[in-house]
Amino acid sequence: MGFRKDFAWGVASSSYQNEGSVTADGKGLSVWDVFTHEEGKVADKSNGDVASDQYRLWEKDVALLEELAVNSYRFSISWPRVLPEGIGRVNEKGLDYYDRLVDALLSKGITPYITLFHWDMPYELYLKGGWLNRDMPRYFAEYAEVVIRRLSDRVQHWITQNEPQCYISSSLENGEHAPGLRLGKKDLFLAAHHSLLSHGYGAQAIKAAAKTRPVIGYAPASWWLWSPLTENKEDVEACRNKTFAALENPLGGTGFWLDPVLLGRYPLDFLQTWEPYLPRISQEDMKVISEPIDFVGMNVYQTYVGRAGGEGTCENVSHRKGYAKTMASWPVTPKALYWGPKFYWERYHKPIVITENGMSNEDWIHLDGRVHDPQRIDFTHRYLSSLKRAAEEGVDIRGYFHWTFTDNFEWSRGYEERFGMVYVDFETRERVIKDSGFWYRDVILSNGECL
């Protein structure tokens, strides 16, 4: 027993990080289009105006996906490419692009998994207040309906939002991401509540407009995962409790973003601690936010390591001397794909799809014309082995999407980070499948049996 026979093996990408063609065919501006053109916002002073150039090179990319033997591809829709002002006028040429991409994928037997929002909010909606505007959930539902009506005759798998921790906390709290604000707690919790409402209204819009039975997911970042140092009961329980705690860092955590969606309530420790800063939260709001979905998307790169401390606490023992880490300085902790899905499954009883997992590496084209990335192969092998263990123990895992398909624009790090299984020369946009891509193809063709 290992992975399901119908397991979704894929790679993932996002619109702003890959498409480029920033104003082509009537596309409107996003907050990232504006933010990256301001001095000092991106490490290498770059932007996503061209990125991996997928908008122009989509046929080449579909051919590469076929060569990788993936059966699924996760990508996102650019909201301002479809609705240049965020609401109202529909840009048919923008929708035509996604039509072509979907048709090409299906012709190769590749199932599209579409994310509706991967951070590129229309700039015109930001000028209306963005996530602080109570109308944002309605705007999001309107956008979702436009996309669903156009593509749902062929697309069934939908993800409403990607990593709200980033577009709320990193964007509005510490200013690292677009639009680069530093808001206080009261405004942050209001924005977060509106984000959750947008997810709920978005899920309702998908169900109302879908032409085929939709399969709906939601993909918050799984940053606040804790793996036990040992498998004794005390360490496991300490890490389980710490994973879902919403007391110390609610906006970056797990419980805050998943309990309302899957349990219909905000975590009690969050409500008690942050009550003076909270917006009015009605029962009707919670009913919308907890609109039933079909799977939880987990974006997993790392985990903390903990052990039971005194009085039921969890002691952090993550960073020991010389610990393994990626080029992004993220620790290599393969058990994240065992304990994370296990804890989620036991708490929420909802099927799981690993919507992102991967590593930043130092990659280049070698003298033999190939890109040798043994670290990524070893990393992915270890993580997938942990995921396989979780599946063998009964966790309902439906798929795995490696982040990322091609090297791309990595937000505030620009082009300094390479996560792809396909190398991109950012001067010529030449693509070369890395050794890890060929290795991953063998894993897919064996349905994980070769791990």
Would you please indicate which residues are annotated as catalytic (active-site) residues? 163, 356
Q: What secondary structure letter does DSSP report for 406?
A: B
Apex 42 CA angle, 38 and 46, nearest 5: 85
Q: How many of the other CB atoms lie within 10 Å of CB of 88?
A: 10
String of DSSP letters for 202-237? HHHHHHHH-SS--EEEEE-B--S-EEESS-SHHHHH
String of DSSP letters for 14-74? -HHHH---TTGGGPPPBHHHHHTTSTTSSTTS--SSSTT-HHHHHHHHHHHHHHHT-SEEE
- Nearest CA among 212, 98, 193 for reference residue 152: 212
The radius of gyration computed from the CA coordinates of the chain, to the nearest angstrom, equals: 21
Q: How many of the other CB atoms lie within 10 Å of CB of 228?
A: 24
Structure tokens of 256? 């805050």
**Across-strand partners of 431?**
424
String of DSSP letters for 333-400? -TTHHHHHHHHHHHHH---EEEEE----B-----TTS-B--HHHHHHHHHHHHHHHHHHHTT--EEEE
Compute the distance between CA of residue 290 and CA of residue 204 in angstroms, rounded to an integer: 10
Contact indicator for 390, 341 with CB cutoff of 8 Å: yes
Compute the distance between CA of residue 289 and CA of residue 302 in angstroms, rounded to an integer: 28
**Is residue 175 within a helix (H) or strand (E), and if so which, with residue range?**
none
Contact indicator for 387, 355 with CB cutoff of 8 Å: no
- CA 33 vs CA 62, 170, 178, 346, 445: distances in Å: 25, 17, 9, 40, 39
Compute the distance between CA of residue 121 and CA of residue 126 in angstroms, rounded to an integer: 7
